[in-house]
A and B are shown apart, each in its own frame.
Chain A
Amino acid sequence: MIHQLPVVLFLLPLFAAISMPVVCLKHRHWSQPISMAILSAMVLVSILNLLYVIEHGEMRYVFGGWAAPFGIEWVADGLASVIMVVLSALGLLGVVFTVSTVPKDLGGRIVHYYTLVLLLISAMTGIVFAGDLFNLFVFLEVAAISSYALIGLAGGRALFAAFRYLVLGTLGASLYLLGVSYLYAVSGTLNMSDLAVIIPSLLSSKALVGGLLFMFIGLGIKMALVPFHSWMPEAYSYAPESVSPILASLVTKVALLAWIRVIYWVFNASIVIYNIPILLLVEVLGALAAIIGASLALAQKDIKMMFAYGGISHIGIILIGIGQGNATGFAGGIFYLLNDAVMQAALFFLAGVAFCQYGVRTVEDIGRVGKHAPWLTGSLIVVAMGMIGLPPTGGFFGKWYIILGALDAGNYVSVAAVLLSTLLTLAYFVKLFEGIFRKTSTPSDIPSSEIPFSFKLTLGITSAAVVILGLLSAPIVELLLSRTLPPGL
């Protein structure tokens, strides 16, 4: 029974998503409690799964009893199980948050919303566990299609942003599929662990290099890496308030996870292609993303836009950690990924509360909220500490381990890039806080009404999680170091 856990994790939201339109045909308001119950069950199952994996090592689930190179397998190793806990917990929080936003945001489309969210979460489960490059493609596309539909759900400006995302995202998926077919053409297998065995003997093949590059570009578009990021801020900031937290915290992170899998588990990270080590490529792209994303964030006026660009810069910081090629850097990168998922969710929850409760969208307007919104300001301060990387938040320890890894590798440019992006992050949060605490000449016209319980709950839990992740950083990084490291490190 315990070996079925990864599949149970996938099937729970999938069945719920499929049956949702039927079950909630007459009673629309059942969709909320049903999806909350399903996601709470997912949280429990994913924690069980993690405990089992920590105890007994990785689990391989073979579909239909066909052994690995011929059949399809799912791999629940340490990394996948850790990410799965964060994914299901943030999915649950995202749905709790929507209790007060969905009626305002989406009106009659409440059933569609929950169907798509559950489908998105089940597809992301598939991406996390897939042990097969083609399965990964299918789940990436299912997740992408649900997110296009989710972004366009509210209509208006979001429609056009969703269309752009669709065109670029499909181009990315096609390039990824092209890379996969190159790899299949040279190696004759799609299974990740099988490929990892075959690839070292194929290093002179040009098709292999081409395949690797196409997969990189394809997944790079999916995770909004810097030269390919243009769809992301628009799509996430025009998306309905109930949608953007889930998208921003999970979708790009899961695509990044797929990238990490391809680099470390399929290709050996130490591979040198035409005298260029691929890790150097990862590092340089990461450094560029970290600095460019943060500087673009500084230039934004819209709060959600600013946070979306902040997310781009943080993807870069994670890549810097991953690209160091040593255990400390890798564990730091993964730890920062967990933190960033939580912080992005928190930031978009904040932006959602600011808009739904107080009608505030821009940095200038936020001054009007000021002292009337203790929950908003308080949690913004905590999350900002995490984003900038001040102790005792998780952001600080993530950056700390990444910098330690970079120093180990003797890579001072990476250290400089992390520090520079930290300064830029500080700068745009200072801009935000200046907006909040400035003495505004216009008297506040915002009714100081009580904010709904679901807002308090999500803001409280995410801010607490940012701090708790920092306080527990030592055991978590210990766990990551012992259970999630890829084979070559």
Chain B
Amino acid sequence: MADAILAVFQRPNFLVFVIIFLWGFYIMVTRYNLVKKLIGMYLVQTSVIFFLVSISAKRGATVPVLVSTTEPVQAASYANPLPHVLTLTAIVVGVATTGVGLALCAAIYRRYGSLDEQKILEKLE
């Protein structure tokens, strides 16, 4: 058990990811305000993006730009560029989703005059 806990602290990036993910999930589940739900959703997305970036880091590595084109490439001395590229796409997707979510929130507010889930559900009955 103690080993497991120590192993977790060996990977602080993973710990941070789990905390942000669960925090976002908690907000999504417990809040009634729709915009707060969206904020929780955005935290969940961001945590996954954080995880994706953090796995590309290497100790003592530099930015993935080749210093010399003649020498063979030392993969260990460059950070992995691919997760960063993926992350950009994932961020764009996340922004688009949040945008659609906010637009829906605005439309719901215009229609029902409230952003509180319970009040909206009462009006829907």
Using a CB–CB distance below 8 Å, which chain A residues touch chain B? 134, 137-138, 141-142, 144-145, 148-149, 152, 155-157, 159-160, 162-163, 166-167, 170-171, 173-174, 177-178, 181, 184-185, 190
Residues from chain A with Cβ under 8 Å of B97 in the complex: 141, 144-145, 148, 166, 170, 173
Which of A159, A170, A173 makes the CB contact (< 8 A) with B111?
A159
Q: Does B23 contact A (CB under 8 A)?
A: no
B44's nearest neighbour on chain A, judged by CB, is: A174
Within the assembled complex, what's the spacing in Å between the Cα atoms of A145 and B101? 9
B52 touching A163, Cβ below 8 Å: no
Contacts A144-B97, A181-B52, A184-B82 given; 5 further ones with Cβ under 8 A? A137-B90, A148-B97, A163-B105, A170-B44, A190-B82
A167 touching B55, Cβ below 8 Å: no
Known A162-B104, A167-B28, A170-B45; contact A178-B51, beta-carbon cutoff 8 A: yes
B28 touching A177, Cβ below 8 Å: no
Residues from chain A with Cβ under 8 Å of B25 in the complex: 171
B42's nearest neighbour on chain A, judged by CB, is: A170
Within the assembled complex, what's the spacing in Å between the Cα atoms of A31 and B89? 30
B105's nearest neighbour on chain A, judged by CB, is: A163
Residues from chain B with Cβ under 8 Å of A137 in the complex: 90, 93
Residues from chain B with Cβ under 8 Å of A170 in the complex: 41, 44-45, 97, 101
A-B CB contact pairs (8 Å), 18 listed: A138-B93, A141-B97, A152-B103, A152-B107, A159-B104, A159-B108, A163-B34, A163-B105, A166-B104, A167-B41, A170-B41, A171-B25, A173-B97, A174-B45, A174-B47, A177-B48, A184-B82, A184-B83
Q: Does B96 contact A (CB under 8 A)?
A: yes
Q: Does B16 contact A (CB under 8 A)?
A: no
Q: Does B19 contact A (CB under 8 A)?
A: no
- A contact patch SS: helix
Q: Does B86 contact A (CB under 8 A)?
A: yes
Within the assembled complex, what's the spacing in Å between the Cα atoms of A181 and B56? 10
B45 touching A163, Cβ below 8 Å: no
Within the assembled complex, what's the spacing in Å between the Cα atoms of A178 and B48? 6
Sort A-B residue pairs by CB-CB distance and give the 8 closest, nearest first. A181-B52, A141-B93, A185-B55, A163-B104, A178-B48, A174-B48, A159-B108, A174-B44
A145 touching B55, Cβ below 8 Å: no
Within the assembled complex, what's the spacing in Å between the Cα atoms of A174 and B111? 30
B80's nearest neighbour on chain A, judged by CB, is: A188
B45 touching A134, Cβ below 8 Å: no
Residues from chain B with Cβ under 8 Å of A156 in the complex: 111
Within the assembled complex, what's the spacing in Å between the Cα atoms of A166 and B124? 19
Residues from chain A with Cβ under 8 Å of B22 in the complex: none
B104 touching A148, Cβ below 8 Å: yes
Known A156-B111, A178-B48; contact A134-B86, beta-carbon cutoff 8 A: yes
Within the assembled complex, what's the spacing in Å between the Cα atoms of A160 and B116? 11
A138 touching B89, Cβ below 8 Å: yes
Within the assembled complex, what's the spacing in Å between the Cα atoms of A126 and B107? 30
Residues from chain B with Cβ under 8 Å of A171 in the complex: 25, 28, 41, 44
Q: Does B61 contact A (CB under 8 A)?
A: no
Residues from chain B with Cβ under 8 Å of A152 in the complex: 103-104, 107
Residues from chain B with Cβ under 8 Å of A148 in the complex: 97, 100-101, 104
B124 touching A160, Cβ below 8 Å: yes
Residues from chain B with Cβ under 8 Å of A163 in the complex: 34, 101, 104-105, 108
